[in-house]
C-alpha cells in the first residue's frame, strides 16, 4: 500500500524505521547495490533510513549557494532547501530534514 519511494521498514533499536531510496526523487536510476548500506538519520519516532550506494565522504565547499540560487533540482528538494554548495560539479543542499521526510512520508502513502 505504498509507492516505490518507500523501500521497506527496518527495526532500529526497537523502532520501526521507513527506508527510502532518494535517487528516485532526484530522477536518477537506482544503482546496483554491491554492498548494502543504510544510513539512519535521527532517533526514535523521527528516524528514517536512506539507501547508500557508496560510503559517505567529506566534501570541500567550493561555492556557497543561497536558496534562490539553487536551480535544476527537483521541486521536492528545492522546497526544503535553505541553501547549498557547489563541490566538484555537484550541488549539495542544506535540507530541512524534518520537513523533507515528512513530505516524503506523505508521498509514499499516495498509492497510484
pLDDT tens, position by position, 20-60: 888 877 777 666 667 778 899 998 888 999 988 877 777 77
Euclidean distance between the first and the last CA atom of the chain, given in angstroms as a whole number: 9
pLDDT at 112 over 60: no
Please give the pLDDT value at position 111: 57
Distance CA 86, CA 98 (A): 23
Phi, psi of 42 (to 5 degrees): 70, -170
Residue 81: Cβ within 10 Å count: 19
For 79-92, what is the mean pLDDT? 83
pTM for the full predicted model: 0.76
Please give the pLDDT value at position 4: 77
Amino acid at each position: 500500500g505504498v509507492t516505490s519511494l518507500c523501500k521497506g521498514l527496518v527495526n532500529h533499536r526497537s523502532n520501526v524505521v521507513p527506508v527510502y531510496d532518494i535517487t528516485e526523487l532526484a530522477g536518477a536510476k537506482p544503482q546496483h547495490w554491491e554492498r548494502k548500506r543504510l544510513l539512519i538519520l535521527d532517533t526514535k519516532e523521527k528516524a528514517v533510513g536512506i539507501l547508500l550506494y557508496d560510503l559517505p565522504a567529506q566534501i570541500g565547499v567550493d561555492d556557497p549557494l543561497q536558496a534562490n540560487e539553487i536551480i535544476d533540482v527537483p521541486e521536492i528538494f528545492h522546497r526544503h532547501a535553505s541553501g547549498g554548495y557547489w563541490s566538484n560539479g555537484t550541488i549539495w543542499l542544506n535540507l530541512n530534514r524534518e520537513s523533507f521526510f515528512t513530505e516524503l512520508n506523505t508521498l509514499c502513502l499516495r498509492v497510484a
